[in-house]
Amino acid sequence: MLEVVSAIFGIIGIGFLAGYFRLLSKEAFQALNDYVYFVAMPALIFAKLSSVHIGAEYGVLIVANLLPMLAAIAASFFLWKGGVLDGKAASVLLLTSFFGNIIYMGFPAVQMKFGADALPVASVVAFVYNIVMFGPAIILVMKMTKSKDNELAKERLLKNTVILSCILGAAFSFLGLAIPAFIFKIIEGVGGTTAPVALFSLGLFLSIKCQIPLLPSLAISAAKLVFFPAIFILASALVGFDGKMFQISLLQAMMPVGVTNFVLATKLGLNEKIVAGAIFASTLLSLPALALFELFF
């Protein structure tokens, strides 16, 4: 795993330096980000899911991943209802406590650690995260912040490339459909660019949004890197979820705060600096967290 962690942070570091020394602009980050999200990553998910059999064992995987997300949503809701946090603070906690960088960092980490054969499992995990995030989580955030942007949740669900590519890939798998080999090779080739471009793009983002409000960033990092994985381990024990699928899911659960959260914070009028700082701090702190993953798993 040391080689994996070194490769991940090496590519992130190159992206960071490219941004820090102004070799690439904010516009370049947006272009790379869009390429990964709308082209490379959907191609990767479709290629992997459409070519494997999706069996009943994925049901336990979905439940084990779903339970800690619902726990995070419930905790944020009760902290808001109990007056401990105001609506915007509770919303920041909700968005950042469970929705990690499962695409731009999680997919590369899974692929480097477990190989390409593990990506169908990672894709289903990403599917569950996105359904919860852009369904009940966004709806609750809009309620807590009294947002009237009722189309946001619908738009994010309908245009979510993770959800759409998972559904399409699963349909091809269930129905036994196939596409011409040369077309599949093209899709597979485009999908293969996901890991390096995603990590480079993350580094570029961090160079642009590197201001860190220290205490809130550390608190959110602790919630994301320590408490959420711990809840996932407990939930997995309760439903009897173990083996390689458990390890892949845990690695996804240990990912730092997702870059997508910054976009959502901007759209929802939340504290962008705290979210950006949490992304930066949790990404740096994920280095020892990933080292612990290798030590125990």
Q: What is the pLDDT of residue 241?
A: 93
Confirm whether 7 is domain-assigned.
yes
Q: What are the backbone dihedrals phi and psi of residue 100, each rounded to the nearest 5 degrees, phi first?
A: -95, -175
Confirm whether 296 is domain-assigned.
no
> Counting beta carbons within 10 angstroms of the beta carbon of residue 159, is it exposed (0 to 12), middle (13 to 18) or buried (19 or more)?
exposed
Question: Which residue positions in the chain have pLDDT lower than 70?
Answer: 1-2, 4, 54, 147-159, 209-212
Rounded Cα distance between 179 and 193, Å, is 21
Confirm whether 272 is domain-assigned.
yes
Confirm whether 292 is domain-assigned.
no
Confirm whether 137 is domain-assigned.
yes
**Residues of 123-139 as b/e, b for ≥16 C-beta within 10 angstroms?**
bbbbbbbbbbbbbebbe
Rounded Cα distance between 20 and 209, Å, is 10
Work out how many domains the chain is built from and give that number.
1
Confirm whether 94 is domain-assigned.
yes
**Please, are residues 162 and 39 in contact by the beta-carbon 8 Å criterion?**
no
Confirm whether 205 is domain-assigned.
yes
Structure tokens at 90: 């509770």
Q: What range does the domain containing 9 cover?
A: 2-287
Nearest Cα to 124, choosing from 186, 48, 176?
48
We report the CATH number of the domain holding residue 158 as: 1.20.1530
Average of per-residue pLDDT values in the chain: 85
